Structure 1
Amino acid sequence: MKFTPIFLSFLALSFSLNGISQNKNSNVKPNIVFIYLDDLGYGDLSCYGTTSIKTPNIDALANGGVRFTNGYATSATCTPSRYGLLTGVYPWRNKDAKILPGSAPLLIGKDQQTIPKMLKEKGYQTAVVGKWHLGLGTGIVDWNKQLDAGPNDVGFDYSYIMAATQDRVPTIYIDNGKVVNLDSKDPISVNYDKNFPGQPTGKENPELLTMKWHHGHNGSIVNGIPRIGFVSGGASANWSDVDLADHFLAKAQTYVKIHKAEPFFLYYALNQPHVPRTPNPRFVGRSGMGPRGDAILEADYCVGEIVKTLKDEGVLDNTLIMFSSDNGPVLNDGYYDDALEKLGNHKPNGPLRGGKYSLLEAGTRVPFFTYWKGTITPQVSDALVCQVDLMESIAKLVVMDVKKTDSQDLLNVFLGKSNKGRKNLIIEANTKTAFRQGDWLMIPPYPGDPILAEVNIEVGNSKDFQLYNLKKDIGQKQNLAKSQQKLLSAMVKDFEKIRGNDYKNVEKIELK
């Protein structure tokens, strides 16, 4: 077959234009979505081996991406983990990075480097939808005015949040720093030290409760549920607990639909399965494990729906999704809700020891995976990774230099192109710290009871050093500190090079 000069010229032009098109597409900035659950354990998902509950929507992402077996939150409680996630800084470096009351001031400095700030500089739209729990305001919060500090001051263009947690007052939605549906004739007042005159509490008015408190949660009653702290006013602004998940899901979906034509970063922070567990009636009873199991199924539904929205809006193929939990599991965390009684054979911490509040593995080793359709090859990775590494890794993804923090560039690990993760990691639980290095975990001696009685969780306290080979002993059954003295000594030195030698100055464990 002979080709005319005109045809050959046309063919050459076509290849040239196609190359331009491909190059242009290769430079399209990917959308980035963080899906962050609350108190979800290593053994709570079917993709991590449980057979007692099915989470098909979450599994589809985990099995279609890189599922990490050594993925960590920085901390065994919520506020510190969220701080580390967004800033790339170990939370123990900030003395205020502890579980915050609902009225605490903004924890992240307005001049501090954050992931959303970084992405804004690269032309991204940024949003947080769901649980915040990193403080609001610069002093005493006036809930009846525009808040003077919050997510919008640390890099988020759009924020639609709850102030702290579902079990804390105030129980309100906050839209870009302003309380939603607030009646000016019924102003909100919040106090975490004393009650307001005439306001019923869980401790004094048990006859008004639809959910019985176990410990700590005996303050103001909202929707029949006793909370932490005291509140007066703001009745019209109170959320409906059973509609909380649907409400935040709708806001996240709307955000995607509005911003699908431009690169966006969405931090979608679900509340499940944190207490109080109040799944929508359509999920009640579906798990057979009571409200905690039902809340996990509700979360799985939400994940499926946000992924469906990404697909329907035509942006799923250009979206990097990262999924994890802020800390490990807890059953009875303040309310009687049959979490323990209906547990059956389910093991929320899987093969791990400990749980929320604990330096043992189940406190910080959590479900963690990345998904990017068509870009990430499905695989399971044993690489050591931490949520604190998202700062440096995303900076590499969007080609940006950032100030050096505790974060490490593990982009190739997150994209499944490498299995070389961190060499070491410091984890934290209520100001106490431990050291993971290679396959080994070292926990220094700490005072206090080995079991936190209120929640019946081993927290890792011991008068002796603890040393575990996690590759051979994932359940931490054998303390090798005495038989591996040389290794222990070396690890303590490496730990102190990073942590300093004041790590024994710890505070009392906070439950909440």
Structure 2
Amino acid sequence: MKIAIGSLLLVLLVGSHAVAADGADRPNIIFILGDDMGYGSVAANNPKCTIPTPHLDRLVAEGMNFTDAHSDTSVCTPTRYGLMTGRYSWRSGLKSGVTWAFFPSLIEPEVVTVAEVLRDAGYETGMVGKWHLGIDFTNKEGQTIAEELRLDQHLFVNCGDFSAVNLKYDWKKLDFTQPIKGGPVDHGFNYYFGDDIPNMPPYVFYRNNRIVEQPTVPKPKEMFGIAGPMVPGWTLEAVMPALAKDARRYIAQQAEGDRPFFLYFSLNSPHTPIAPSNEFLGKSGLNPYADWIMQTDAAVGAVLQSLDELGIADNTLVIFSTDNGSTGKELNELKKKGCDLLHQFRGQKRSIYEGGHRVPYIVRWPGRTPKGSSCDATICLNDFMATAAAIAGVGLAENAGPDSNNILPLYLGQARAEEPAVIHHDFDGSYAIREGDWKLVFALNRKTKTFTRELYNLKADVKETTNVLDKHPEIVARLAQQFETQVRQGRSTPGPRQANLEDPDWMLPF
């Protein structure tokens, strides 16, 4: 399972700068991604969070807690795209919204993923959990849905437009016995087990590129979720335990091997459907949503327990983060009970403001990452791709990870030579660019198709209450120009210009 480098010097590139990490084995890498769980949902991050999260708190105590980390955007599909590709999601065909049921594969065949980078570097690559990046199902005539409907994946400008088609799609035309295409195993993962999207059809588990059991009945109306095909006897409460069990099984299997492994453990919680299993129902004493967060935390604990029991914790890098901020009416119920998960920032899921995309990001790498430390550098989940490549000791092709910065020096407790800007995006298509203390927002009004600019100094005003646009025209001009340059260059990192999707309906604030 371990590949020793011995006395060789591993050079890890940070843009044009180099940081040396000598004498280290390449670690196993486990990236755990929570779903709809904002920064304040981790008890260690929020004194007003009364939901116990002992396993996440353990990670904080044993590793590095990033206090200014951001998802690619403030909803799930685009964040997963950015995490997997190191490319801002709005450079793809997805300009707003998320993918829905029966949506074709969003990751373009030519776009490199972090799983492909690590697989080619000698890692075993596995994924367990929620994919939510589109899957190409095949109809009984042998066509994918996209082929049947003559859809071009590069022209999915607004997923809401396509949802009018795909949610009405007659699923009885599909042949679920055929291998799926465009899923995890077609994008670099040697292994996959998961449910894709827990609140959308088909309600099934996948293993590798096959559906485990055929969905032969329609979802009952009383069960949460969008109508569609379901495996007989399917229950939402059984999903999380199945994912946690398989993640542990995969870790144990890889511990017997002779190569390092990468596990992407993508949870379906605490996103709706709020479906804690009997073991956790009522455990928080607050409400089922709090119980659901506790079960999310327990899934993290199951991974940590496996690493301890197998004796591989010291050579395993564990990262926990989430895809966007928290949301839901249940948050108001919690607030009335003294548990305020949203008080630290403005906004929540779907928002361009901090509450939409500032997320927990915790790194534990024993002996490498300073124990009990914190980092206030601004980072993005897209940075994982370049960082993973550096850890594996490989470079990225010039067209790979165009919006991914190597943050390995931060993991090691070192300073970066540069603090690059980060671009934010929201559900409706608004943008923002963040550099240092300054955040310039381009808020989109979809009715008028116009953008309004707002400027905030997050050091002085982290809740974004005071727009200081008129007081700092020079900062506005500089950030606006930087944003436009990064869009037109097709990348935000050094390198040759990359192609953006050019579409006349793509609304931009310039």
Which interval holds the TM-score relative to the shorter structure?
A: 0.7 to 0.9
Closer/same/farther in 2, CA of residues 342 and 361 from structure 1, 3 Å limit: closer
Asked if 1:45 is matched to 2:42, the reply is yes
1:182 aligns with 2:178: no
Whichever residue aligns with residue 96 of structure 1, its letter is: L
1:94 aligns with 2:92: yes
- Gap change, CA 1:129 and 1:445, over 3 Å in 2: closer
User: C-alpha separation between the residues in 1 aligned to 2:234 and 2:98?
Assistant: 22
TM-superposed CA distance for 1:38, in Å, is: 0.3
Secondary structure at 2:31 match in 1: strand
1:59 equivalent among 57, 64, 88:
57
Q: Is 1:479 aligned with 2:467?
A: yes
Structure 1: how far apart are the matches of 2:52 and 2:447? 35
Give the 3-state SS of the residue equivalent to 2:281 in structure 1: coil
Q: What is aligned with 1:341?
A: 333
In structure 1, the partner of 2:292 is 295
The residue type equivalent to 2:42 in the other structure is L
Q: Where do 1:72-91 residues align within 5 Å?
A: 72-91=70-89
8 A contact 1:89–1:388 mirrored in 2: yes
Q: Does 1:171 align with 2:203?
A: yes
Local SS of the residue matching 1:354: coil
- Is the Cα contact below 8 Å between 1:440 and 1:469 reproduced in 2? yes
Question: Are 1:291 and 1:339, in contact at CA under 8 Å, matched by a contact in 2?
Answer: no
* Alignment correspondent of 1:455: none
For 2:346 and 2:439, the matched residues in 1 are separated by 13
Hey, what's the Cα distance between the residues in 2 that align with 1:442 and 1:504? 24
TM-score, normalised to structure 2, is 0.80
Classify 1:21/1:167 alpha carbon distance in 2 versus 1 (closer, same or farther; 3 Å): closer
Greater gyration radius: 1
Matched, 1:438 2:436: yes
Displacement after TM superposition at 1:70 (Å): 0.8
Q: Which residue of 1 aligns with 2:476?
A: 488
Query: Which residue of structure 2 aligns with residue 331 of structure 1?
Result: 328
Native 8 Å contact 2:84 2:385 kept in 1:
yes
Distance 1:353 1:27 in 2: 42
Query: TM-score scaled to structure 1, two decimals?
Result: 0.80
8 A Cα contact 2:129 2:196, kept in partner? no
Of 118-127 and 98-107, the range deviating more from structure 2: 98-107
The Cα of 1:320 is off from its aligned counterpart by: 0.7
Structure 1 stretch displaced more, 94-103 or 471-480: 94-103
Q: Residue 256 of structure 1 is aligned with which of 251, 257, 262?
A: 251
Would you say the 8 A contact 1:432–1:503 is kept in 2? no
Aligned-partner residue type, residue 273 of structure 1: P
% identical equivalent positions = 30
**Counterpart of 2:65 in structure 1: which amino acid?**
R
Q: What residue number does 1:275 align with?
A: 272
3-state DSSP of counterpart to 1:43: helix
1:381 aligns to what? Answer: 375
Segment drifting more, 249-258 vs 46-55 = 46-55
Equivalent-residue separation in structure 1 for 2:443 and 2:296 (angstroms): 37
- Name the residue aligned to 2:151: none
Q: Compute the displacement of 1:419 (Å).
A: 5.5
Question: 1:422–1:173: structure 2 CA closer, same or farther, 3 Å change rule?
Answer: farther
State the Cα distance separating 1:46 from its structure 2 match: 1.0
Correspondent of 2:358 among 359, 365, 390:
365
CA contact (8 A) 2:176 2:214 kept: no
**In the alignment, is the contact (CA less than 8 A) between 1:100 and 1:135 conserved in 2?**
yes
Alignment of 1:105-504 (within 5 A): 105-137=104-136, 139-140=144-145, 142-164=175-197, 166-182=198-214, 186=216, 220-221=219-220, 224-228=222-226, 230-232=227-229, 234-236=230-232, 239-260=234-255, 261=257, 262-332=259-329, 338-343=330-335, 344-378=337-371, 379-404=373-398, 405-418=402-415, 422-430=419-427, 431-448=429-446, 464-500=452-488
Deviation, 1:87, is: 0.5
2: distance between equivalents of 1:57 and 1:420? 33
2:378 is paired with a residue of what secondary structure? strand
CA shift in 2, pair 1:478/1:103, >3 Å: same
Cα deviations by residue, 1:136-189 (Å, 9 ceiling, x for unpaired): 12632632322133110110000001122x211111111112112227xx4x7x
What CA distance in whole angstroms lies between the structure 1 residues aligned with 2:470 and 2:505? 24
- Report if the CA contact (8 A) 2:431-2:443 is conserved: no
Kindly provide the amino acid, as one letter, of the partner of residue 435 in structure 1: I
**What is the Cα deviation at residue 449 of structure 1?**
8.6
Q: Secondary structure at the match of 1:443?
A: strand
Using the alignment, how far apart are the partners of 1:276 and 1:66 within structure 2?
A: 31
470-479 vs 143-152, greater mean Cα deviation? 143-152
Q: What is aligned with 1:456?
A: none
8 A Cα contact 1:79 1:99, kept in partner: yes
**CA-to-aligned-CA distance 1:92-139 (integer Å, 9 cap, x gap):** 100236411121111112332111111111111101101110111263
Residue 493 of structure 1 aligns to a residue whose secondary structure is helix
Counterpart of 1:15?
Answer: none
Question: Residue 37 of structure 1: CA displacement?
Answer: 0.1
Q: Is the 8 A contact 2:456 2:466 kept in 1?
A: yes
Q: Is the 8 A contact 1:410 1:421 kept in 2?
A: no
Q: From the superposition, tell whether residues 470 and 382 of structure 1 become closer, same or farther in structure 2 (CA, over 3 Å).
A: same
How many residues of Structure 1 are paired with residues of Structure 2 in the alignment? 435
Equivalent residue letter for 1:368: Y
User: Secondary structure at 1:340's aligned position in 2?
Assistant: helix
Task: Tell me, yes or no, if the aligned pair for 1:433 and 1:503 is still in contact at 8 Å.
Answer: no
Could you tell me which runs of 5 or more consecutive residues in structure 2 were left unpaired when the two chains were aligned.
9-21, 138-143, 146-173, 490-501
Question: 1:247 Cα deviation (Å)?
Answer: 0.6
Q: Which residue identity is paired with 1:114?
A: T
Name the CA shift for 1:462/1:59 in 2 (closer, same or farther; >3 Å): farther
Q: Distance in 2 between matches of 1:375 and 1:72?
A: 23
Change (3 A) 1:449 1:276: farther
State the Cα distance separating 1:359 from its structure 2 match. Answer: 0.3
User: C-alpha distance in 1, partners of 2:252/2:51?
Assistant: 31
Query: Which stretch shifts more, 282-291 or 375-384?
Result: 282-291
1:347 shift after superposition: 2.4
Secondary structure in 1 matching 2:377: strand
Aligned-CA RMSD value: 2.6
Q: In structure 2, what is the Cα distance between the partners aligned to 1:44 and 1:504?
A: 40
Whole-Å separation in 2 of the counterparts to 1:115 and 1:60: 27
Question: The residue matched to 1:226 in structure 2 has which SS?
Answer: coil
Give the whole-Å Cα distance in 2 for the aligned partners of 1:480 and 1:362: 19
Separation of aligned partners in 2, 1:499 and 1:462: 18
